[in-house]
Structure 1
Amino acid sequence: MQLGENLSALDTIFGGSADYYAKQIRLYGCPGAIIIFDGMASLEGLWRLLLDAVNRESRPPFESQVYHTGAEVYQALMHRSDLPAQSAVIADMDTLIMFLTAGMAILLLDGCDKAIAFSVQSMKFRSVGEPSAEGNLRGSREGFTDLLRINLSLLRRLIRNDTFTMEAAQADTTMRTEYVLCYCRDKADPAMLEKVRKILKTAKPELLLDSSYFVPWLLPSRTRLFTPVSYTERPAVAAAKICEGKLVILVNGSPSALVLPALFAENFECLDDYATTAVFSSFLRILKYVSFYLTIFLPGVFVCLAVYLPELIPPQLLYKITAAEMATPLPLFAEMIMVILILEIIREAGLRMPQSLGHSVSLVAALIIGDAAIAAGLMSTPVILVASITSIAVFITPSLYEPATLLRLVVVVAAGLAGPVGLVAAFLFFLFSLSGVSAMGVPYLADRPFPQRPISEDGMIRQNYRTLSRRPFNIWQKRRR
């Protein structure tokens, strides 16, 4: 309760920090102190706020000019003044640090066991711009930033009903990172919502730098190729998912929102699908499905046919493949694996390098290495062509890049070692890895897979948007009964 003790405690904790600022003042005869972090809270904003409160035509909190205790000044400022203070009660050091590190100014009063917080944040952040990883022709161009409060305001501006809820909390980590769970009360499943809320509170990641750090606690599993969650940097996409009954998790310092649960079919959908005709959107979705299966199975099928079943290849094409392979020292199976790995190395190098050099390095490296390898006789043209097609096709569904890359290698290895039997085994492994995935009772695949129901209201072939709007979709309709 003593001001000196509180200042000493704070000085012990933050005294060695260059941005810690404490200014002792007297307020109505009571000693006090203003505590802020320079760069997070604005002194100019604080003084403007105080002057604005003083200049208002209202009854002063005290009629007399005598000295008052800290408790009296606290009650006067909180309940009998026009000072726009935060209504939250700050009665312990942990709560004080939480508000202080959020960029607020804290007023300490001598003889009072409570502090007052003022919202005068002035934190620098990346401006709202279009996400580079999610391109759309139509719709909003806004993207999430790194500041949590800005992201919440973007969502609130889109979802303006009274059921939209944003629950903020601090993660149990050394950084005490703030996160927010967003949902609509009338659409989200109450039991699953409570389950997720408990998991987030009990999760103890060492660091929390992105919403994906919560996935091992939300979906515990040792090995999993497909994860039934999705990520987005677009507020419009996050708002649409929330209106479908899904849960969205935002973490301070990250522009990536986690959407839970997700369906496999949603990886082949985008906002543009609902802004164009149903026929063209269905065509694009079919193209995406074909590209996804092409990037996984084309190299393995090519190896299987060329090595084990050459009689199935047209003679003219077979002669060209044979002539190209006779000029290379490596077998077709090893050559395909080497080309796939080289293309992955080039992609990773272009991704991690500075943006001004990344695209140039990727393009130049691919052209030089490919041309030099063919000229030196180390690789054949058919193998490079097949590997290039699969590497390009995977970018049509970027959210499935990781499992598609691993499955492509598995299929090539299985087809090269065991031929048709290995190819069939790899395909069955792919199906089992998909069918065994679920999140919060919602299967990753549709409740009726492709053989039984290829055409649904909003599946591979979608209906007119006016027809879809007659029956609003809710993710919890697909839970297992």
Structure 2
Amino acid sequence: MDVQQLSQSLAENLSALDARFGKSADYYAKKIVLYGCPGCIVLFDGMASLDSLWELLLDAAGRQSASVRLTGAQAYAHILHGSAFPAESTPVQDMPQLVARLTAGMAVLLLEGCSSGIVFSVQGLKFRSVEEPSGEGNLRGSREGFTDLLRVNLSLLRRLVRTDTLMQEAAQAHTCCNTEYALCYCKDRADPAMVRRVRAILQSARPELLLDSSYFVPWLLPGKARLFTPVHYTERPAVAAAKLCEGKLVILVNGSPSALVLPALFSEQFECLDDYASTAAFSSFLRVLKYFSFYLTVFLPGVFVCVAVHLPELLPPQLLYKIEAAEKATPLPLFAEMLLVILILEIIREAGLRMPQSLGHSVSLVSALIIGDAAIATGLMSTPVIFVASITAIAVFVTPGLYEPATLLRIGTVLLAGLAGPVGLAAAFFGFLLSIVSTEALGVSYLAPHPFPQQPLSEDGVLRRNYRQLSRHGFNIWQKRERGRKQS
């Protein structure tokens, strides 16, 4: 398709714009006379600031001497190079460029007798203020969170990474909405080959809509279905800045506060900013607790079903008698009860999440209390099953980044343990290991030792050392792979 070049005729350019946006309520065109040359300012109301535009151009146009008369080409050259007007250095020369600048919130000046438009950065976009993310709680550190506007998010990153190595490449995705996105990386830390690879993938991706950075994942990580996705999402600029300094790539999409970090490691799901602001002993304790909570929420229901149904001799007699007495009063087998309770808790969580915020917490709490009490009172469910399912439902929120795979693994473990007993439980465990070992992104294994691969367990893995000792040598996400290449 041929690109429509701008015409030297102002009327033809305005006619082409009217054909595209004439019936749109936010399209604004103001004809003016500048240096005796007819012209027109075009913009989208609500995206460009009329107050700023008046101060830049319209007021000056009204104060020009009537004796000064320039042609369109002369007025264009004077405004762009010989005046104090803060115009953009790159003009627009065709209709796609003009539309891209208008939809970015800029104003464009078109002149009679000139086939190029002058762009003024007078964006007045309304956006959500910079607030603390609700889904990533921290006791210490920055309280800033990404907003829904890409340019604001890029500025938040630039304020934290104040070096000339931070690169922020913005482009428009090939979607019906031409949504803008940005690829961010530190050029002295990121692998150049991986940067080129990700850049090419993003440019060739063809999502129908692009409403969040996660929409790029099927193109970045193509292939078979996987339980674990080796990417990380954050709404905190401080976290994104830390990941950039580790050599990782950050993808931001206009309209979403969620930044995609690539590649991610399994161990990073058990870490947070508070780990490095607390003592090494307490941070290590919290990490061990998080690992324990994750495996508890995945395997506890399946282990309970397997032991209670297939291996009751392993339980203490007092506990076994109580479980047996509770199960005699219920019509369903213990295996079916556990599945039913898990599904009911997921329904309650989803309802509380999608409800208005003022009602969500109340609905979740009341629903859980009423349903749980009524289920026990009517004899549909037993107390031990509800107790075990409740513990696992709470433990999963200790590692919110692993909520999706943990939920699917929990249900699969209960199914296999209930149907096949110890054999099914072992199959679920080995299936979990296989799924996590086979996961990788950009050549980096999901289970790669995280920071400082020399001694991961004693420095910054499950346990960590004092931050002063950790800071003696840097970490780069690609260093383990580079060492493997050198050894080979």
Distance in 1 between residues matched to 2:91 and 2:222, nearest whole Å: 37
Residue 89 and residue 474 in structure 1: after superposition, are their counterparts in 2 closer, same or farther (change >3 A)? Answer: same
SS at 1:475 equivalent: coil
In structure 2, the partner of 1:267 is: 269
CA–CA separation in structure 2 for the residues paired with 1:416 and 1:169 = 51
Q: 2:32, 2:61 within 8 Å by CA — same for their partners in 1? A: no
Tell me the distance in 1 between the aligned counterparts of 2:201 and 2:86: 35
Give the letter aligned to residue 36 of structure 1: L
Partners of 1:95 and 1:397 lie apart in 2 by 45
**Cα contact 1:237–1:271 (8 A) shared by 2:** yes
For the residue of structure 1 that corresponds to 2:183, the secondary structure is: strand
2:53 alignment partner in structure 1: 46
Question: CA–CA distance in 1 between the matches of 2:457 and 2:32?
Answer: 71
Q: Which structure 2 segments of 5+ residues have no match?
A: 1-6
TM-score (norm 1): 0.96
CA contact (8 A) 2:248 2:262 kept: yes
Superimposed CA distance per residue, residues 320-347 of structure 1 (whole angstroms, 9 cap, x where no aligned partner): 0010001101000000000000000000
Identify the residue that residue 341 of structure 1 maps to in structure 2. 343
Matched, 1:413 2:408: no
SS in 1 for 2:478: helix
1:70: Cα distance to partner? 1.3
Distance 2:132 2:104 in 1: 26
- Work out the CA distance in 2 between the residues paired with 1:447 and 1:395: 24
Tell me the amino acid that sits aligned with residue 27 of structure 2.
Y
Task: Tell me the CA shift for residue 89 of structure 1.
Answer: 2.8
Residue 121 (structure 1) aligns with: 123
Does residue 1:34 correspond to 2:36, yes or no? no
- What is the root-mean-square deviation in Å for CA atoms of aligned residues? 1.8
* Distance change in 2, residues 1:107/1:51 (3 Å): closer
* Superposed counterparts of 1:220-231, under 5 Å: 220-231=222-233
* Residue of structure 2 in register with 1:372 after alignment: 374
Are 2:34 and 2:61, in contact at CA under 8 Å, matched by a contact in 1?
A: no
Q: Give the secondary structure class of the aligned counterpart of 2:376.
A: helix
Unaligned runs of 5+ in 1: none
1:187 counterpart SS class: coil
Contact persistence 1:238–1:248 (CA under 8 A): yes
Cα distance in 2, alignment partners of residues 276 and 96 from structure 1: 52
- Structure 2 CA distance for partners of 1:421 and 1:454, relative to 1, 3 Å: farther
Correspondence 1:37-186 to 2 at 5 A:
37-50=44-57, 65-186=67-188
Residue 306 of structure 1: aligned partner: 308
Aligned counterpart for 1:208 among listed residues 207, 210, 214: 210
- Aligned mates of 1:98, 1:457 — CA distance in 2: 49
Over 6 Å off, 4+ runs: 51-56
Give 1:214-363 correspondences, 5 Å limit: 214-363=216-365
Residues 415 and 423, structure 1, Cα contact 8 Å, conserved in 2: yes
Tell me the distance in 2 between the aligned counterparts of 1:193 and 1:263.
Answer: 18
1:181-232 CA-to-partner distances (Å, cap 9, x unmatched) read 1111100100000000111111010000000001010111231110000000
Partner AA of 1:4 in structure 2: A
Identical columns (%) = 74
Distance 1:301 1:52 in 2: 76
> How many angstroms apart in 2 are the aligned matches of 1:454 and 1:331?
45
8 Å CA contact retained: 1:457, 1:463: yes
Which letter does structure 2 place at the counterpart of 1:42?
S
Deviation at 1:255, TM superposition (A): 0.4
Deviation at 1:49, TM superposition (A): 2.0
Query: Structure 2 length normalisation: TM-score?
Result: 0.94
Cα deviation, residue 25, structure 1: 1.1
* 8 Å contact from structure 1 (residues 230, 262) kept in 2: yes
Total equivalences in the alignment: 474
Query: Is contact 2:102–2:108 with CA below 8 Å preserved after alignment?
Result: yes
CA contact under 8 A between 2:267 and 2:461: conserved in structure 1? Answer: yes
Deviation at 1:388, TM superposition (A): 0.1
Deviation at 1:52, TM superposition (A): 8.1
| Conserved 8 A contact 2:167-2:184 | yes
CA distance in 2, matches of 1:8, 1:320: 82
* Alignment partners' CA distance in 2, 1:292 and 1:130: 26
